[in-house]
Structure 1
Amino acid sequence: MTKNSSKHHAPETSLSKAIKLLPIVAKRNAVGVNLSTVATKANLTNTTARRLLQGLVDGGLLSFDPYSKVYTLGIGLFDLAAAEGSPRGFDSVRLKLRPVLEEVAAITGETAYFSVLFGDEALCVDKVSGARTFHESTLQIGSRRPLGVGAGSTSILSALETNRCEQIIAMNDDVYPRYGDLTSSDVRKMVRHCRKHGYLINQSLIINGLSAVAVSVFGPGNRLVGGLSVTVPNENLGRARIKEIFNVMKSGVERSNWAIGQNDMLKSAREMK
């Protein structure tokens, strides 16, 4: 018997079964979906499907029309999606930067992320995987990180007013060591580098073997929009590779009529030659 075949998986809970019904309803939300279709798609009996669906209706996540006998997404689900801190609250920014992330991922082959400022944290609102992505980052859409944790988060931190930036670093002094080998000293070094060169590098400080390059993104009136980052395996991270990734990010952002760096920070293209 193989190692995998000897494993015993815990039985699926009612909660996990109910959650799996939501995408089935969502896919047919425009016209609604009846009980038998849901049961068939979920490989459940009608009795079980009805019980799970009723629980979702009671919780406001689904709506049931007793006349047409169809289920649709409930208003409670949309309320949750629009809650403060939800990535969907930043859709206008995300949609504008989406082509940039796609271009960066396509050209570099690596995974590109976009994060925005949320209080004293960075919220990841978009991610596009590249063809050469064989590693697994802990950053996902919806992930929140203290400012200074991760390349994109630190690029946002570097764009803040100096006093606020330092206050945040001091506040997180005991927090940073929870993330790999990260320290306040490391964060300050990355902030200084980003302010001087317009980009920063997190050299495997959080995930062993995985580094990242990041830039801060600014909109009209020099308004901070967020941080764009690209994860790179250490074996692929050389000076030429950093320059390539930086130039791809810079070109994509500028074509969106936004900018990277802050005022006089845009020196890196010359300094990296």
Structure 2
Amino acid sequence: MEHPMKKAASASGTQSVHRALQILRLVSTHNRQGIRLSDLAAQVQLSKPSVHRLLRELTETGLLMQAHNRLFHLGQFAYELGLMASSHYSLHQVCAPFVEQLAQESGDTVFLVMRSGFDSFCLDRQTGSYPIKVFSIEVGNRQPMGVGAGGLALLSFLSEAERDAVLAEHSEALLQFNGLSVETVKQLIDATRQRGYSHISNHAVAGVTGFGMPILDRVGTPLAAISVTAINDRMTPEHQRQVIHLLNRCTQQAREALLTSRGSLPSRA
């Protein structure tokens, strides 16, 4: 029988790893502008001394760095890990030509996103020729899955248990996106599953409409999603029909390329 003290130490160690990963995810989300210790403590709901201790350990290993303005960013070792991992994950490399072609043909902004835990992670963004661009999320950033057309397409085609877990995790965070609620997202999920594509307006960004479709593996699990976004005035019924047609072709081409590629294809990060 395992000694109670040993069991408690093991649980404490697991909890510390989980908290460190939470911090890494938050820093990666805010990596471009950096994030303060106090903001990290508030978001992970830990005391400042506890977060400071974790930040010190992550900084010493090179996973994080602290700039002169005391804001935290991803460190050199995180960059090296990313380079090493990228050689095994060809999702972005395989999909990039189709994303670029879709942006050129639609004239709009196109996003490629994948699942990362309970979030959607932006792998690529390409802009078309239409003069008013939509930059709702930067490449390398994440947001709650279900926000934005791509994230909604991902979430809609997960299992019911996984969808419920994501919504439970983000019930409060969703409110930051123009008051988006769990019930509203559930309604959007139902509509997305019926149509086969997501359609969302004025949630992630006010005045913007987006359409998204998942790239499914052989058993129907979403590998990634591609979305097209534009300002509401541009998304006339005729243009919507064109976007849906182009998006369907793009995701089918990307799916075929992914399923025949030699690289390892993760369904989540």
Aligned to 1:149: 147
Which of 101, 104, 121 is the equivalent residue of 2:102?
Answer: 104
Contact 1:82 1:88 in 2 (8 A): no
Aligned with 2:136: secondary structure? coil
Cα distance per residue 1:131-183 (max 9 Å; x no partner) = 11523423011011111121111111111101220232133221111122322
Q: Kindly provide the CA deviation profile for residues 20-70 of structure 1, in whole angstroms up to 9, marking residues without a partner as x.
A: xxxxxxxxxxxxxxxxxxxxxxxxxxxxxxxxxxxxxxx89xxxxxxxxxx
Structure 1, 181-190 or 136-145: larger mean CA deviation: 181-190
Poorly superposed stretches of 4+, deviation over 6 Å: 84-87
Measured after TM superposition, the shift of residue 124 of structure 1 is: 0.5
> Deviations 1:174-211 (Å, cap 9, x if unpaired)?
11111223222221122111111111111111212111
In structure 2, the partner of 1:215 is: 213
Partner of 2:111: 113
1:177 aligns with 2:175: yes
Equivalent of 2:224, from 206, 223, 226?
226
1:168: which partner in 2?
A: 166
Match of 1:252 in 2: 250
Distance 1:257 1:179 in 2: 30
Q: Which residue of 2 aligns with 1:134?
A: 132
**1:90·1:125 contact (CA, 8 Å) conserved in 2?**
no
- Note if contact 1:109-1:132 (Cα within 8 Å) is conserved in structure 2: yes
The offset of 1:83, in angstroms, is 4.0
Q: Letter of the 2:200 partner, please give it.
A: N
State the partner residue of 1:25: none
CA distance 1:119–1:247, change in 2 (3 Å): same
Match of 1:187 in 2: 185
- Counterpart secondary structure, 1:231: strand
Change (3 A) 1:83 1:123: farther
**1:236 and 1:244, CA in 2 relative to 1: closer, same or farther beyond 3 A?**
same
- The residue number in structure 1 matching 2:36 is none
- Runs of 5+ in structure 1 lacking a partner? 1-58, 61-75, 260-273
RMSD in angstroms over aligned alpha carbons? 2.8
- Tell me by how many angstroms 1:123 deviates: 0.6
| Secondary structure of 1:123's aligned partner | strand
Counterpart check, 1:237 vs 2:235: yes
Contact 2:108 2:133 in 1 (8 A): no
- How many aligned positions are there? 186
Whole-angstrom distance in 1 between the partners of 2:235 and 2:207 = 10
Structure 1 vs Structure 2: percent identity of aligned residues? Answer: 19
Change (3 A) 1:91 1:129: farther
Give me the whole-angstrom Cα distance separating, in 1, the residues matched to 2:184 and 2:83: 27
Which amino acid in structure 2 is aligned with residue 129 of structure 1? Answer: T
Q: Give the Cα separation in 2 of the matches to 1:183 and 1:86.
A: 38
Measure, in 2, the Cα distance between the counterparts of 1:192 and 1:114: 22
Q: Distance in 2 between matches of 1:87 and 1:100?
A: 22
**Structure of higher RCO (CA pairs closer than 8 Å, 6+ residues apart):** 2
Aligned match of 1:41: none
Instruction: State the distance in 2 between where 1:98 and 1:191 align.
Output: 26
Which deviates more, 213-222 or 158-167?
A: 213-222
Q: Which of the two has greater helix per residue? A: 2
TM-score under structure 1 normalisation?
Answer: 0.61
Cα distance, 1:173–1:135 mapped onto 2, change above 3 Å = same
Whether the 8 Å contact between 1:199 and 1:214 is mirrored in structure 2 is yes
The one-letter code of the counterpart of 1:210 is V
Amino acid at match of 2:237: R
Distance 1:215 1:223, change over 3 A: same
SS in 2 for 1:112: strand
